[in-house]
Structure 1
Amino acid sequence: MRVTEKGQVTIPKPIRDKLGIGPGSEVEFVDRGASVEVVRIDDADARQRRREQIRKALDALRGTLDLGGMTTDEYMEMIRGPRDDLDPR
């Protein structure tokens, strides 16, 4: 089996069928030292992992934006522009 320039390989059809891997399925690569194990991740686990990744990213960003004393509404108006059609100020 050859690895593409992008680091991709094709999982053989009998293995995909056995593990129930299809388009959009999530898999994980587990380092076993001299080998790698491909493990199918079920939808619930995949959703939980995505939530955890998002939470970590948001935690890393928390407190990094200095609004210079502006309220959230003032900041949103600054980046969006005035919304005269909805909020004539």
Structure 2
Amino acid sequence: MSTTVTSKGQVTIPKAVRDLLGITPGSQVDFRRAEDGSIVLARTDKKKHVSRFEKLRGHAGAGLDTDAIMALTRGE
């Protein structure tokens, strides 16, 4: 993957890299020089990337059984 540097020295991190590292708006990243001279991009904030599916976990409500959940989803 490659990207172009703007006149201000800015680059866009490719979506595949952002997705892999869980980089979202507001994430902090660090550029480090490896022993072989290459530059490594690493995420420095400790926020864990949460997938859209993980965000939905546990939202059925406490103490509801399957029948009650099905009734809620059907609008009964």
Aligned to 1:8: 10
Aligned to 1:23: 25
Q: CA RMSD in A?
A: 1.7
Task: Measure how far apart 1:6 and its partner are.
Answer: 1.1
The answer to which structure has the higher helix fraction is: 1
Task: Measure how far apart 1:9 and its partner are.
Answer: 0.8
Task: Measure how far apart 1:34 and its partner are.
Answer: 3.1
Mapped partners of 2:27, 2:9: distance in 1? 18
Task: Measure how far apart 1:23 and its partner are.
Answer: 0.5
Task: Measure how far apart 1:35 and its partner are.
Answer: 1.6
For 1:8-87, list aligned pairs within 5 A.
8-32=10-34, 33-43=36-46
Number of matched pairs: 44
Structure 1 consecutive aligned stretches of length 4 or more whose deviation exceeds 3 Å: none
Mapped partners of 2:29, 2:10: distance in 1? 13
Structure 1 unaligned residues grouped into runs of 5+: 45-89
Over the matched positions of the two proteins, sequence identity in percent amounts to: 52
- Whose relative contact order is higher, 1 or 2, with alpha carbons under 8 Å and at least 6 apart? 2
Structure 2 unaligned residues grouped into runs of 5+: 48-76
Task: Measure how far apart 1:26 and its partner are.
Answer: 0.1
